[in-house]
Structure 1
């Protein structure tokens, strides 16, 4: 059945995990710590719903209508979801509201693709009618991260459901609460039993889901090593995989822009979600004529960001997800300084009142005068740290931007329209923003190259990848076929 939050608490737990508010360190809930056995149960439920249930056989207009009802139900419960996610992952409520208010758009977009989907009729020689059908894959596994748990789930889940698949979701063990809330919403909107199943477990559960022989596709957002393991596991049984992984996003700032305006605009790239985003602008490559002014302005903006309780509307930056992540980021900042970077802003824990003093906060940090050889310029930090590096000319900037193992996103700040498109074309990344950052729509394919992953989330590319194509060839001629009796058709293939 489609598990509600209550149902999930009885599904083969091997223990219980406390869910912590990262702003205070306080426990706000507890969920089952589920392992491989729970994954097997969930996959069996999804497989039974696929093979014998009404969902894959439902006519497309009815299935699209249900996705639209789910979107409306999410809208109706949006305030609860905003607050719950801000409590669970520490992202400021203003950011959370701006992001989660768009979640229903993904269900509506994929419902629209389903309703407007056409089957192809293919050209060919001779008396034949050849056409294609798109069919659901079966059971799909979706593994989501802690930083944008509901939005990232909605991107893949809506496409998987639109195509008639059933789903097993493994949310981050740190942020499962809005996923469980979404299950209740979908069940209330009329989603049939067994279509969506959730396992609230950690690494062992995720590994079992990627390796399960009855899972036809895995969509994973997470670290590069987790993506590599998922790709190997799915390749062994020729299952599909979409993996959106790490990033070290370059933001190129040319000398034809106002350095202060560019710094104030591009600060969003570095510090949104406390820098806990795969496309966070973590490498600012700035042309030398603008360099000093840009660093000064970015540092000033970083110092002015209001840090505090993420549930308060005037908070601009919340905590990191855990003490472990905060300490990792602080260690990388110290490594950067030891390797020669200059601390222009931040780098410390802010002085906050109780109960925030026990939270996992870190000041927005600017490391200036860095070089491409430094650890902070090459490794993903996943925290509120902007590394600023000077460059000489356009070729220098592009070379530096591409000198990394990742290729997820990039930004270009320039008023020269020719340069903007020229540079964007040369950067090796799945998405490039010009004079902006982190803009996305349900119609925009999302995904990277190199070690940033494979495949696309969102867009018609994602929708299509949750189905397989069957080609049907029909002979329309009236005369009989008798190849060996002298009525050969003049061609074999």
Structure 2
């Protein structure tokens, strides 16, 4: 299958980079991106080498700053914040709307950068860009009642986010935060997305938005981006280890915070018969190789339904399309329609393959392992970052796959005999963001769902993050600080009446979702 594939015309990294140089020459110079602070693009930092997970092509790496320079950037952002918070809401809306227009104009370039930098298939890359644009427009159109009686924070909002959704999570948050009257600071994710974020921030800065974008290691920059007294709020999306350190810091300082962290999201099957409906959902659950916070890597299945579950699950998982996101039969063919491409890098792919090997060595039963024979690869391309779908039965407690989120295309199945076992297995990690219970009986769902330790629970359907009409948060170690979604996203980054208590997971209390 590989012999007839070629790179889609006009989509090489060189093509994308030349377009960046033409669109935003102030932010891209020769073979490197710049940092944005003090309202100017700075030739500072130490550019790190980087390669694309797609096929190992060398791409632009992050220009990593030292902590001293990051502190200067934070102080400069405070000056921007003090000026911006007095800009009228009408003017802020106009500038954010103009930024959205600019992002829309360069939508395809932003999506192409996501393909090369983080390995997103074209369909999902476009969706990431579109969700950012459409989501922020919703706030632009309806911000007045959300902001009524509220004021910006005393300092800028610091954003530290994972690499998997640069536009629909990070840029979306930054633009809503500026709309609410705050200057914003963002750290580019270490693992990818620097060019996409640089282009987005260049378009925002042209419209006069008070945006700061810096690169660097978390350890080096945390003193500035988390602990600096100038910071008014910390917004973090990432793993539990780093998140725990951030949570400790913001709690010690009494700083406003929104900390979204990983959790083992589970899908329970109990007294269920609609197997066609489940089978239709399985391929979509593998979007982007399950590299997202609301992925479902664990199925908890009633033992007596296991044969029916497999009859629905296995044919569906065998339909998954994996490969190079830009490989086509002819140079002018349509974009390839894939479920996922590579993982974020070769090191993560090796780690996941090793975890699968360890789990099997310790007793897990392999039910499915995808074949590279059906993958869409260019002749001779580097495939070290690719992992084919894997399904394991009963990962042993000694395996990381038993209790931790794999963040890759690996499903695990646990069999249970009682409702108590079902709930225990679905609550294997200390809190999750989403869960689903497939059961035919409404009464059973309503009885069991409140006992599942996930923030959003679907009845026979997946739940998503969402940012508009409903809350989003988590339980246990999957979330700390203010909940978000719709008006609460604005409330999380503004000040209300004296004594206001934001809904969220805080040390002193916890609001249960309804």
- In structure 1, which of residues 333, 343, 346 is the aligned counterpart of residue 369 of structure 2? 346
**Alignment of structure 1 residues 83-102 onto 2, 5 Å:** 83-102=112-131
Match of 1:187 in 2: 205
Match of 1:486 in 2: none
- In structure 1, which of residues 356, 364, 367 is the aligned counterpart of residue 392 of structure 2? 367
In the alignment, the residues of structure 1 paired with residue 392 and residue 254 of structure 2 have an alpha-carbon distance, to the nearest angstrom, of: 44
Match of 1:156 in 2: 173
Match of 1:400 in 2: 425
- In structure 1, which of residues 447, 453, 477 is the aligned counterpart of residue 479 of structure 2? 453
Match of 1:222 in 2: 238
Over 3 Å counting, the alpha-carbon distance change for 1:149 and 1:205 in structure 2 is: farther
Over 3 Å counting, the alpha-carbon distance change for 1:307 and 1:413 in structure 2 is: same
Q: What is the CA distance between 1:267 and its match in structure 2?
A: 4.1
Which deviates more, 145-154 or 399-408? 399-408
**Is 1:254 matched up with 2:283?**
no
Q: What is the CA distance between 1:117 and its match in structure 2?
A: 3.5
The alignment's TM-score, normalised by the length of structure 2, stands at: 0.81
CA contact (8 A) 2:146 2:490 kept: no
CA RMSD of aligned residues (A): 2.5
**Is 1:281 matched up with 2:288?**
no
CA contact (8 A) 1:211 1:233 kept: yes
Structure 1: gaps (5+ residues): 121-132, 473-493
- Partner of 1:431, secondary structure, is strand
| CA deviations over 1:171-191 (Å, ceiling 9, x no partner) | 212221211111122133x12
- In structure 1, which of residues 396, 399, 414 is the aligned counterpart of residue 439 of structure 2? 414
CA contact (8 A) 1:24 1:355 kept: no
Q: What is the CA distance between 1:134 and its match in structure 2?
A: 3.0
Match of 1:238 in 2: 254
In the alignment, the residues of structure 1 paired with residue 266 and residue 493 of structure 2 have an alpha-carbon distance, to the nearest angstrom, of: 31
Which deviates more, 100-109 or 436-445? 436-445
- In structure 2, which of residues 51, 60, 72 is the aligned counterpart of residue 29 of structure 1? 60
| CA deviations over 1:30-51 (Å, ceiling 9, x no partner) | 3412231331122122111122
In the alignment, the residues of structure 1 paired with residue 306 and residue 447 of structure 2 have an alpha-carbon distance, to the nearest angstrom, of: 22
- In structure 2, which of residues 92, 95, 100 is the aligned counterpart of residue 63 of structure 1? 92
- In structure 2, which of residues 316, 334, 340 is the aligned counterpart of residue 301 of structure 1? 316
**Is 1:469 matched up with 2:496?**
yes
Which deviates more, 170-179 or 60-69? 60-69
Which deviates more, 302-311 or 290-299? 290-299
- In structure 2, which of residues 314, 334, 342 is the aligned counterpart of residue 319 of structure 1? 342
In the alignment, the residues of structure 2 paired with residue 421 and residue 99 of structure 1 have an alpha-carbon distance, to the nearest angstrom, of: 33
- Partner of 1:151, secondary structure, is helix
Q: What is the CA distance between 1:69 and its match in structure 2?
A: 2.3
| CA deviations over 1:36-94 (Å, ceiling 9, x no partner) | 1331122122111122x2x2111112212322222222222211111111111001111
- Partner of 2:75, secondary structure, is helix
- In structure 2, which of residues 448, 455, 462 is the aligned counterpart of residue 430 of structure 1? 455
CA contact (8 A) 2:430 2:477 kept: yes
Q: What is the CA distance between 1:296 and its match in structure 2?
A: 4.2
CA contact (8 A) 1:19 1:29 kept: yes
In the alignment, the residues of structure 1 paired with residue 356 and residue 371 of structure 2 have an alpha-carbon distance, to the nearest angstrom, of: 9
**Is 1:439 matched up with 2:464?**
yes
- Partner of 1:204, secondary structure, is helix
| CA deviations over 1:202-248 (Å, ceiling 9, x no partner) | 22344231122211211010111111111122223221121111111
Q: What is the CA distance between 1:288 and its match in structure 2?
A: 2.2
Q: What is the CA distance between 1:438 and its match in structure 2?
A: 4.2
CA contact (8 A) 1:139 1:215 kept: yes
Which has more radius of gyration?
1
Which deviates more, 231-240 or 256-265? 256-265
- Partner of 1:25, secondary structure, is coil
CA contact (8 A) 2:146 2:487 kept: no
In the alignment, the residues of structure 2 paired with residue 284 and residue 59 of structure 1 have an alpha-carbon distance, to the nearest angstrom, of: 50
**Is 1:167 matched up with 2:170?**
no
- In structure 2, which of residues 61, 74, 80 is the aligned counterpart of residue 43 of structure 1? 74
Over 3 Å counting, the alpha-carbon distance change for 1:67 and 1:397 in structure 2 is: same
- Partner of 1:277, secondary structure, is coil
Q: What is the CA distance between 1:12 and its match in structure 2?
A: 6.5
In the alignment, the residues of structure 1 paired with residue 442 and residue 105 of structure 2 have an alpha-carbon distance, to the nearest angstrom, of: 42
Over 3 Å counting, the alpha-carbon distance change for 1:200 and 1:348 in structure 2 is: farther
CA contact (8 A) 2:434 2:464 kept: no
Which deviates more, 10-19 or 282-291? 10-19
Q: What is the CA distance between 1:374 and its match in structure 2?
A: 4.9
The alignment's TM-score, normalised by the length of structure 1, stands at: 0.85
Q: What is the CA distance between 1:461 and its match in structure 2?
A: 1.6
Q: What is the CA distance between 1:373 and its match in structure 2?
A: 6.8
Aligned pairs, how many?
452
